[in-house]
Amino acid sequence: MTPAHRPHDHTFAVSTDDRKRLFMTMTPQARTTTAELGFPAILTPEALETAADPVLVRLDEGARTAVARCHDYLHRCLAEGREIYGATTGFGPLVGFSGRDEAADQCENLLCHLDVGQGADLPPGVARAALLARLWSLAHGRSGVALEVVDALSATLATPFAPAVPEYGSVGASGDLAPMAHAVRSLQGRGDAYLGAVRMPAGRALAEAGLQPLSLSGRDALGLVNGTPVTAAAAGLALAALTRSLASATALTALLADILGCRTEFAAPELFTALGHDDTARQAADLRAHLAGHRPGGERALQEPYTLRCAPHLIGAAATSLRHARRVVTDDLNGVSDNPLFIPERDLIRHGGNFFGQQAAFAADLMSITAAQLGNLAERQLDLLIDPRRNGGLNPMLAEQPGRDHGVQGVQLAATSLVVAMRRAAVPAAMQSIPTNHHNQDVVPFGTQAAITALEQARTLRLLHGSLAVALAQAARVGARRPSAPRCAELLDALDTAVAAGSTWAQAVRTTADLLDTWEPLEPSAEAGQPWAAEAGGRPAGG
C-alpha cells in the first residue's frame, strides 16, 4: 500500500525550502508548530484535530506545479474570451449578467455580498480545520487559484491565527459561502479573528502572528468560498470525537458490569457469530477483553436489563454507523468541492455542482442520531447504577448517608437534561430543504448545520460519559467494591486519581470526560469466534 493510501499516515518530512517559504513572513514567537502534514496524503478526521494548534503543511512539488499550471490555464482561457462562471459572470442566479472587469474588484464583489453570517463564532479549532480542509481541496490543482493563496493558507496554519467565523449563513449548497467569506475577510485583515483563544481585530491578529494580509485576484475569492470545508471540517471533528466516545462506551459498560457483579454471557462470542454483524462482534470482543478476569457476584438475575445485555448490539450498531460516516467524511476531505473545475491537461472547463454537500449532510445526521442513542445508553446505565432495586443493594443515588448527603442525584438530573438536548438535536437537517437564491438553489442539503450539530452532539456525549464515569467511581467508593477485571480496576483507579480533592460534581464530570478522551482503547481483539472458557456452572465466561 502506498503512503497516499494509508489513512493514518499523515506525517511527512519537510524540506528546508518548504520551511523558508512558510516561515518567511512569520515573527519568531509564531514559529512553533506541533505537527506536520504533507500533500498528497489522505487527510483524516484525526489529522484535522492537529489544526487546533500550529501545524506545518507541506505541498510536494507535484502539487505546487499542478496549482500553478491550473492558475495559468485559467488566465489563458480568459484571454481567449471563454465564458467562466464567477470570473466573467455574476454570481449565483445573476450568472446571466457580466461580472466586474477588474479581477480584484470581482473578488471584492463576491466577498461583499457574502459577508452576512450571524450567530456565535465557531470554535477557533473548527475554523482552522476548515482552512486546512480548503487547502487540501485547492492543492489538487483544479480550482484555478494562485499558488500564493495556497501558500497563505499554509502560512496561516503554521501560526495560532484563526478567523472569526459566524455559525449561521450557509445552506450547504454552492459551498459554505458565508462562513468562508468571513474566513477570507479575516485573512485579509478585516473583521475579527482569534490568536490562540483571544478574539481581536483581524488586522491586529495578523500582525501579531507575523502574517501579511491576503491579496486576491482572478478566481481566488471564489475558489476559497465555493466549497464545503466548514461542513467537512465540523463533520470530521465530530467523527474523531465520536470514535473516542465509542471506546469510552465499551469501557464504561465493562466497568458497570464488573462493579455490579454481573454475569457476562451477554457478550459470549457464540451469540455474535450467529448474529452476523462484524462491527457488533468486534465490540463484544472488546467488551470481553475489558472484562477478562471478571468474577461474577452470583446474586444477579439470569438476564440483565437491556442497558447491559444489549449494550454490545447498540455500541456495535453505532460502530457501523461511524464506519459509514468515516468513508463519507474522508471522501469529502480528500476530494475537490468547487465550481467550475479546470482540467488543463485536457483543455477542459467543467461547470457542475461539486459544492453540494448532501453526502456529508446525511453522514452528519447519522452521527447525530448515533450520538444521541449512545447518550441514551449512558444515561440509562447511570439510572441503573443509582437504583437500589437494580444495583445490587447500593445506597439510593449512591449517597454515603442518604438524606444527609445526596450522592450523584444532581449528576443524574444534569445527565437527564443533556440527553434530552441530544434527542432534540437529533432531528435531521439534511431534509430541511428550502428553495432560495432566486430558485437557483432550489434544493439544498443544509450539511453545514448538520455537521455543526453533530460536533455539538459529540461534545455533549463526552459529558454524559463523564457523568457515568463519576457515578461508577462513586459506586465503587460507597459500596466498597473493587473491580475483579484488571482492566476495569485500572480504569477505576485512573478515574479516582484524575479528580482533584474538593472538586465540584460539575468539575469532576468534565475532568473524567477529558480522561476518557485519552484512555487507551483496546487493540482490536483477535479472539472473536474462538472457544471461550466457561464460567462456574457451565455458562460461557465473560472474559
Q: Are strands 161-163 and 192-195 parallel, antiparallel or unpaired?
A: antiparallel
Half-sphere exposure of 353 (CA within 13 A, CB side): 12
Q: Which alpha helices (H) appear in 9-95, and where do they start and end? A: 16-23, 45-49, 61-79
φ/ψ (deg, to 5) at 135: -55, -45
Q: Which alpha helices (H) appear in 294-341, and where do they start and end? A: 306-309, 311-334
DSSP 354-408: TT--HHHHHHHHHHHHHHHHHHHHHHHHHHHHH-TTTTTSPPGGG-SSBTTB-TT
User: Residues 465, 378: contact at Cβ < 8 Å?
Assistant: yes
**Any idea which residues carry the catalytic annotation?**
85
Distance of alpha carbon 543 from alpha carbon 434, whole angstroms:
53
Distance of alpha carbon 383 from alpha carbon 323, whole angstroms:
29
With vertex at residue 297, the alpha carbon angle to CA 291 and CA 301, rounded to the nearest 5 degrees, is 100
User: Residues 407, 395: contact at Cβ < 8 Å?
Assistant: yes
Q: Is 66 helix (H, G, I), strand (E, B) or coil?
A: helix
For residue 160, give the nearest of 127, 188, 136, 117 by alpha carbon.
Answer: 127
Residue length, the chain?
543
Q: Which residues pair with 200 in a beta bridge?
A: 193
Q: Is 35 helix (H, G, I), strand (E, B) or coil?
A: strand
Distance of alpha carbon 44 from alpha carbon 51, whole angstroms:
12
User: Residues 219, 86: contact at Cβ < 8 Å?
Assistant: yes
Q: Give the list of residues 6+ apart from residue 510 with CB closer than 8 angstroms, or none.
A: 463, 466
User: Residues 495, 512: contact at Cβ < 8 Å?
Assistant: yes
Contacts 24+ apart (CB under 8 A), 186-193: 187/152, 187/156, 187/163, 187/213, 187/214, 188/213, 188/214, 188/215, 188/216, 189/213, 189/214, 191/115, 191/163, 191/164, 192/164, 193/161, 193/162, 193/163, 193/164
Distance of alpha carbon 174 from alpha carbon 444, whole angstroms:
9
For residue 400, give the nearest of 506, 475, 468 by alpha carbon.
Answer: 475
